[in-house]
Amino acid sequence: MTKLRERHLMGAEVLLESGQSIRATAQDLGVAESPLRYRLRRRGQGVGDGRARQVESCAPYEGLIQAWIEGQQQEGNRPESIRSLYEGLLVEHGFTGTYKALWRYVRKRQPAPKVRPHRRVETRPGGQGQLDWAFLRL
């Protein structure tokens, strides 16, 4: 692989405008694909890697996941972990995605958690004690 130069970027822009893929362009120019993509993006070409256009593995289960999220928002109930949702989808519905993919999917769609106030607990003097332990070598 040769070092990416300005002339490579100019050639890449011409090849991309003609409809050639970024991977084929990088191979034709003899440069690495990742730096070429990065530098073109910086120049304003907006060339992405296509991951944003792919369908998420959780999309077919969107209705089930949304119902689970709404069930978690009820007052008075302690929310279940996403792990329990993952195991339920895996066993009952044949979910093929990973736990991490489900976690990211739920986090994007779940509202931010409520801010819980901190409660300060005061005790009478002498009602509670605290010790710090230290070992001294003599």
pLDDT tens, position by position, 17-47:
999 999 999 999 999 999 998 888 888 756 6
Domain range list for the chain: 6-51, 59-109
Q: Residue 78 corresponds to which tokens in the numbers above?
A: 């302690």
pLDDT, position 46: 62
pTM for this entry: 0.51
The Cα–Cα gap between 113 and 111 comes to 6
Q: pLDDT of 72-117, one tens digit each?
A: 877 666 678 889 999 999 999 999 899 999 999 999 988 877 787 8
What mean pLDDT comes out for the span 107-132?
A: 81
What is the rounded average pLDDT for all residues in the chain?
85
**One-letter amino acid for residue 86 of the chain:** Y
DSSP letter (8 states) at residue 31 = S
CB burial string 21-60: b at 16+ within 10 A, e below = ebeebbeebebebeebbebbeeeebebeeeeeeeeeebee
Per-residue model confidence (pLDDT) at position 45: 58
CA distance 84 to 92: 12
Q: Where are the alpha helices (DSSP H) in the chain?
A: 6-17, 22-29, 33-42, 62-72, 82-93, 99-109
